[in-house]
Structure 1
Amino acid sequence: MSTFRFQKPNAAICFGKKSEFRDTAATERTPTISPSFIVLDGLLGLGSKPPLRDPILAACRETNRLRREQGAYVFAIDLPSGLDGDTGAADQDCVVADFTVTIGAAKQGLVADDALNFVGRLAVVSLPELSLPDTEETVTCHASLQEVMRRRQFNAFKNQFGRVGVVAGSRGFAGAATMCAFGALRGGAGLVEVFVPENIYDIVAAAAPFESMVKPIKTYAKLHDEAVDAWAIGPGLGKAHAKEITALVQQNEKPMVVDADALNVLSGQVNVLKSCRGPRLLTPHPGEMKRLAGDQKIPRADIARKFTTEFPVTLLLKGSRTIVAEGGKRISYNTTGNPGMATGGMGDILTGVCAALIGQKLSLFDSARVAAWVCGRSAEVALFNNGASEQSLLPRDVLEHLGRAFRDLHRSAI
């Protein structure tokens, strides 16, 4: 099913010799299809607005039926038909796309909160010769990240890539420390030290990557003297040592990724963030963000913008379209990932990767953007190239494919 004509021989070369192309009327009901069937939605352009009308309405309904009942993959060109490109408002029969490819730049409606389930995975095909006005928001794609992720020199050595200190884990949550350590190592850290309470040392030491150093501690107060380049603090930490954790976040001068229970500890005393001695990257999920900033009935981007205006921190607000914000910079939307990432442990890996990139001298803002992109990309590789599903995807699958995701930063991946 297509809404435009194309050269079938050339398309067959692109998609593989076994591809079959079928041209049908836009309003015609399509018979049973193969599991790999792809619907290209190019019915309406960026200037269109709801409501939908026949015959376009009938075509949109048929497209959604093929996706819902027969498992077709839907690729939208510029935007899903039925979506308002300016506001993100959608007709009730708007095409539900798995993948939206837009040219030049993403319109505001494509990243609106209410548009997420219609847009799906968003890719921007850049046109370098196209002159675009500056905006308050941008979409992260591989091309923009290539500028900050340079290839390593041949004479590199481990001390150039940062010593990361992981402060994570507690009784019942030892796995969080392990996952964070793996994330830091896969993120390229030169050295990783894991500081855990004595009562879980044996468990973490047995499960942690051999390449890391696991150290038991009696009190977090002594960590101020550790010679690290970046901290990852919070995953599985619990609240038993809230006062010591607060002091570490506030007083340590080194860059720090603050996640999970460290965020929960701060939620009742958020003004501590105004007096931190070092740079801080906060990585909350929606529930943690609500505890930090209150239950605000405004778009996620506005929540992030408001928070980073009030507090001198970098914010990575997790979600289906992860947002990275920092005072004085444009809001950045991540474009990679899939629903399979909605499972425990993914955030622990992300925290480790963020800290590793900070240790490699990337800014907190760029570290957050790169980490979100590669973790999401790794999840995509696991699904589409290695047999995982949205139901079966595990954090360890993301760890396994982070290498491919980093390579894709230097290729033509979208």
Structure 2
Amino acid sequence: MKPVLSPQEAVELDRATQARGVTVDDLMERAGWAVARACADLIGGAYGRRAVVVCGKGNNGGDGFVTARHLARWGMRVVAIVLQDPARSRDPAAANLRRLAEAGVRVRRFDPAMLDRELDRADVAVDAIFGTGFRGEPEDDWAEAIEGLNAALVPVVAVDIPSGVDGTSAAVEGVAVRADLTVAFGAAKTGAVLLPGAEFAGDVRVVDIGFPDELIPTTVGLTEPGDVAAILPDRAIDAHKRASGTLVVVAGSRRMTGAVRLVARAAGRMGAGYVIVAVPRSILASVQTELTETVFVPLEETEEGTVAPAALDAVQTAVRDADALALGPGMTTNPDTRTFIRSLVRECAVPFVLDADGLNAFTGEADALSDRKGEAVLTPHLGEFSRLVGTPDGDRLAAARRLAARADAVALLKGSRTVVAAPDGAARINPTGSPVLATAGTGDVLTGTIGGLLARGVDPFAAAWSGAYLHGLAGIAAGRALAEGTVAGDVAERLPEAIQTTRGDAR
């Protein structure tokens, strides 16, 4: 796992490191050197090249001054362009501005035309305008400087986070620097990992500037292949089908027969050894023809062909000998079916994943989800999330944590950068995925992916973040082969490939 820090955590890390005797000047010197090194690496050397370093106020500007000094020392022709009156700079940034001038590096006050001229002949530019604590919309000279960097035909390296990106929520309210590379100090910041901020960050390179490892928070992290490979169960040489995990799938209705197929297929492709499908009687025959590897439980149904409350005993009997449950896709919002879902959630003693209409059964009542016996993973998309707890304010990490706390369950907020949160505040951000996943049924595949992991004994939090990772990787594989013709079933079929790729990448 790669740690991901909020701006507040980054400030606290600075303070804790300084309490151990490392000065702000020490940190700034190492940070500036690391950015300079990244610039030289990006363009294949420093000597004889040209660089423009655009510096704001505070420590971020100070990092830029140090970067400019090191680039000049390595033989680059450098101009540092400052947006704030140098007389207003305070130490340690002011001290590094003086050192820069003493080293003979050109320092110029910002002027749009001058910035454009310098960028026209530069080989690389550095964005040291705003730090991770920025919020809001850049204005006046600050906005013009960002627009100038974006118009330049040279690589741009951002210091810690692209200027104009909210360091907490990743929101971009006005203009923001579109960097080719972001050099992150100690750990990546949430604003450069979540969307839309991640689109502006380019590649993110984490560099060591002297923060003690034990001080770097690990509450939030970016999932890596090794994390997933470490929790994937190996099938024993003497395993039998139930030893590989038994999953009960309760899904589908007369109007939506496809959902249950996708959930069950994904669970099987994740290695669940025994998948039991419980569906309304009226769709049993049609589902049986396609799911030839599964066992079936016909359920009592409503006049609309949805699961009826009278089906509860049959499902509980099936779940009693199972390891996990997948519940919700394609079940509709029929009031009687809603009653069934709420009763099953309350009484189910095994871990379960709840999605789609399973979540809709608790519209406006997220707290009621905490009234249950088993551990739960909730997998809403933005619409389902909003129906549960209200529209989020744009901070996806905070939103997922809020739902996890209210429901006392693992919450997976689906999206281009899926976020998974545990009730204790721990969270993972998923780096995998593809635009081809924006098609009907892929959420059902995710439900089956997580359900399969739960059935194989993976704990709910790990099942959620590893399931999201593998689902995203399967989407990438499907998109590579089928492009925009990808459908949800293609993603399910590529889950074994995603598992093998992950194990290979972890070596």
Q: State the TM-score bracket (shorter-chain normalisation).
A: 0.7 to 0.9
Structure 1's 83 and 93: CA in aligned 2 closer, same or farther, altered over 3 A?
A: closer
Q: CA deviation at 1:132?
A: 5.1
Tell me if 1:290 matches 2:386: yes
Q: Give the SS at the match of 1:169.
A: coil
Q: Give the SS at the match of 1:410.
A: helix
* AA in 2 matched with 1:201: L
Q: Give the SS at the match of 2:255.
A: coil
Q: Distance in 2 between matches of 1:344 and 1:235?
A: 12
Report Cα offsets for 1:94-141 as digits up to 9, x if no partner.
3277x98968632122134542443579797999x9555115422212
* AA in 2 matched with 1:140: T
Report Cα offsets for 1:18-65 as digits up to 9, x if no partner.
xxxxxxx99569xxxxxxxxxx998547976774766x855533569x
* AA in 2 matched with 1:352: G
**Structure 2 length-normalised TM:** 0.64
* AA in 2 matched with 1:5: I
- The answer on whether the counterparts of 2:165 and 2:197 sit within 8 Å (CA) in structure 1 is no
Q: Give the SS at the match of 1:166.
A: strand
Q: Distance in 1 between matches of 2:171 and 2:223?
A: 22
* AA in 2 matched with 1:238: T
- The answer on whether the counterparts of 1:192 and 1:212 sit within 8 Å (CA) in structure 2 is yes
* AA in 2 matched with 1:405: A
- Paired residues in the alignment total 371
Q: Give the SS at the match of 1:236.
A: coil
Structure 1's 157 and 276: CA in aligned 2 closer, same or farther, altered over 3 A?
A: same
* AA in 1 matched with 2:188: A
Q: Distance in 2 between matches of 1:181 and 1:41?
A: 52
Tell me if 1:388 matches 2:426: no
Tell me if 1:252 matches 2:348: yes
Report Cα offsets for 1:59-114 as digits up to 9, x if no partner.
533569xxxxxxxxx998887754548344656253277x9896863212213454
Q: Distance in 1 between matches of 2:361 and 2:177?
A: 42
Which residue in the other structure is 1:14 paired with?
none
Q: Distance in 1 between matches of 2:476 and 2:372?
A: 36
Q: Give the SS at the match of 2:231.
A: coil
Structure 1's 43 and 353: CA in aligned 2 closer, same or farther, altered over 3 A?
A: same
* Greater Cα shift, 401-410 or 354-363: 401-410
Which residue in the other structure is 2:187 paired with?
105
Which residue in the other structure is 2:475 paired with?
379
Structure 1's 387 and 224: CA in aligned 2 closer, same or farther, altered over 3 A?
A: closer
Unaligned runs of 5+ in 1: 8-24, 30-39, 65-73
Q: Distance in 1 between matches of 2:418 and 2:481?
A: 25
Within 5 Å, give how 1:220-259 maps onto structure 2. 220-221=311-312, 222-226=314-318, 227-240=321-334, 241-259=337-355
State the identity as a percent. Answer: 30
* Greater Cα shift, 255-264 or 308-317: 308-317
Report Cα offsets for 1:350-371 as digits up to 9, x if no partner.
0011111011111000000110
Tell me if 1:410 matches 2:503: yes
Tell me if 1:61 matches 2:154: no
- The answer on whether the counterparts of 1:48 and 1:84 sit within 8 Å (CA) in structure 2 is no
Tell me if 1:197 matches 2:291: no
- The answer on whether the counterparts of 1:75 and 1:101 sit within 8 Å (CA) in structure 2 is no
Q: CA deviation at 1:333?
A: 0.9
Q: Distance in 2 between matches of 1:103 and 1:368?
A: 28
* AA in 1 matched with 2:376: R
Which residue in the other structure is 1:15 paired with?
none
Which residue in the other structure is 2:102 paired with?
none
Structure 1's 6 and 153: CA in aligned 2 closer, same or farther, altered over 3 A?
A: farther
Counterpart among 215, 230, 242 of residue 159 in structure 1: 242
- The answer on whether the counterparts of 1:322 and 1:372 sit within 8 Å (CA) in structure 2 is yes
* AA in 1 matched with 2:316: H
Report Cα offsets for 1:363-411 as digits up to 9, x if no partner.
000000110000101112233xx4332x333212212321121122223
Which residue in the other structure is 2:18 paired with?
none
